[in-house]
């Protein structure tokens, strides 16, 4: 009977460890989903900035550089001086 109790105790401990691992994975999954959502929103914002910069500055040569600069400034406000 003691052998069964010992085995049950070991299995319960193993189950607890598995539950902890599952909770950690769920937490990690949620963090990754949040990062993915943020990156998708950031990409949408950057795409919009490029569209707006293209419309504002027309189709003349060099506009792609201006659009890239606008996106960079929008995406990296801490890097840009004077903001």
Domain ranges of the chain: 2-75
The C-alpha atoms of residue 47 and residue 57 are separated, in whole angstroms, by 15
Supply the pTM of this predicted model. Answer: 0.53
- For 24-61, what is each residue's pLDDT tens digit? 999 999 999 999 999 999 999 988 888 887 777 665 55
Averaged over 9-30, what is the pLDDT? Answer: 97
Residue 83's pLDDT band (cuts 50, 70, 90): very low
Phi and psi for 79 in degrees, rounded to 5? -85, -30
Q: What is the separation, in whole angstroms, between the first and last Cα of the chain? A: 74
Question: What is the distance between the alpha carbons of residues 77 and 70, in angstroms, rounded to a whole number?
Answer: 11
Cβ pair 73, 83 in contact under 8 A:
yes
Residues listed for the chain? 83
């Amino acid at each position: 009977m003691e052998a069964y109790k010992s085995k049950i105790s070991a299995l319960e401990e193993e189950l607890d460890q598995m539950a902890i691992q599952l909770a950690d994975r769920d937490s990690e999954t949620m963090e990754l989903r949040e990062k993915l959502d943020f990156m998708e929103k950031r990409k949408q914002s950057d795409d919009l900035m490029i569209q707006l910069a293209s419309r504002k500055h027309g189709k003349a040569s060099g506009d792609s550089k201006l659009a890239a600069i606008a996106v960079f400034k929008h995406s990296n406000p801490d890097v840009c001086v004077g903001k």
